[in-house]
Amino acid sequence: MSGATRLHVATASQSIWFSRDKGENWDRPYAESGLEGECRAWTLSAHPDHPDEVYAGTDRGLFLWRESKKTWTHLPSALDSMTIYTLRQSPHDANLMLAGTQKPCDLWRSTDRGVTWTRLYTGIAQNCIYVRHPRVTQIAFDPADKRTIYAGVEIDGVWRSTDGGDSWRKVGKGLLSEDIHGILPTGIDGGTVFATTNMGLHRSTDKGESWTPVKLDSPSPYTRTVFAPPGAPADDLFVTNGDGPPGSWGRLHRSRDGGKTFTEIQIPQPTNSTVWTMAGNAADPKLLFAATNLGQLFRSTDGGSSWTKLKRELSDIRAVMWLPA
């Protein structure tokens, strides 16, 4: 395992943890770093053009980590009164960021790397019988079309913008559920998009207009993350699976044909909950991490063919990200 890395893990009860040796040892900066140790952190974002910076969406607003200073800085905004469930920076423009929130369930846009924010009026539902208050769980920029952006809502389906976020329209004919967990526009064939739901994985070949379920060999249809390792071949995809949130077991599935078929990949057992999220970086496409909802961490150094369970377990993992040091 060559190459220095910075591994970040956001948790829903113990703030954000850091490892600088690929998960062997861990530390959590104390409150004097700028972020309280018991903050609930939901999402992480970084951009290759600004490797010193990591953004975190929390229940206390938006925070920016600067590696050179080893500090968190709170970026005050209207988001402070909401839970920030997802953050994404555009691969086409490092200054453009979108945030998805709960209470209200909305999308927000920043064109100055998180300093100021504008609410994007979408029409997303604000109430739901199942989760009471819907939340934006995933934002994804189309890799080939900078004007097309997708948002997944738990629970109000898939929303799409084709004008850079100025306007949004709900799409999703054929989805078995509007409980959207993950969205992945792949760039394959110009319009292939995947979505994960409580009722399984779905594929669209027309930029989200219509969807078809994708079969996984699993006793539970619950899927959480659909992931394309950065730097890997475009048809190499992973899906995380389990028996619900948090669940009592988890599985990892892989496709090598662009999502047409999936095969379970063996990870160290037993898993303690649904496999929740994954992380990779184009700086080393073979170094991947996966995490369960209840804190187990797994590492692969061969692009996902084999996995090792890390000794350290963390609480209520929500997001994992690694960067070159």
What confidence tens digit (pLDDT) does each residue in 167-179 have? Answer: 999 999 999 999 9
* pLDDT over 70, % of the chain: 99
Q: What is the pTM for the complete model shown?
A: 0.95
Contacts of 152 (CB under 8 A, 6+ apart): 136, 137, 138, 139, 140, 158, 159, 180, 181, 182, 183, 195
Q: Which long-range contacts (CB under 8 A, 24 or more apart) does 60-68 make?
A: 60/36, 62/87, 62/99, 62/114, 63/34, 63/35, 64/114, 65/16, 67/6
pLDDT of residue 1: 44
User: 3-class SS at 24?
Assistant: coil
Residue 13: pLDDT above 70? Answer: yes
Domains, the chain, in order of start with CATH, read 5-324 (2.130.10.10)
- Cα–Cα dist 184/321, whole Å: 17
Please tell me the distance from the alpha carbon of residue 20 to that of residue 304, in angstroms, as a whole number: 20
Q: pLDDT for 245-294, tens place per residue?
A: 999 999 999 999 999 999 999 999 899 999 999 999 999 999 999 999 99
pLDDT surpasses 80 at 2: no
Lowest mean pLDDT among 1-5, 114-118, 188-192, 232-236: 1-5
User: Is residue 314 a contact partner of residue 17, using CB atoms and an 8 Å limit?
Assistant: yes
155 pLDDT higher than 80: yes
By the 8 A CB rule, do 110 and 88 touch?
Answer: no
Instruction: Give 237-251 pLDDT, tens digit per residue.
Output: 999 999 999 999 999
Q: Report the range of poorest mean pLDDT among 56-60, 126-130, 175-179, 256-260.
A: 126-130
Residue 38: pLDDT over 80: yes
CA dihedral of residues 320, 304, 148, 98 (deg, nearest 10): 0
Q: Tell me the average pLDDT across 318-325.
A: 96
Q: Two tokens at 169?
A: 């329209």
Mean pLDDT score across all residues of the chain: 95
Predicted confidence (pLDDT) per residue in 296-314, tens digit: 999 999 999 999 999 999 9
Strands 93-102 and 41-45: unpaired
Q: Which of 150, 147, 126 is nearest to 138 (CA)?
A: 150
| pLDDT value of position 3 | 75
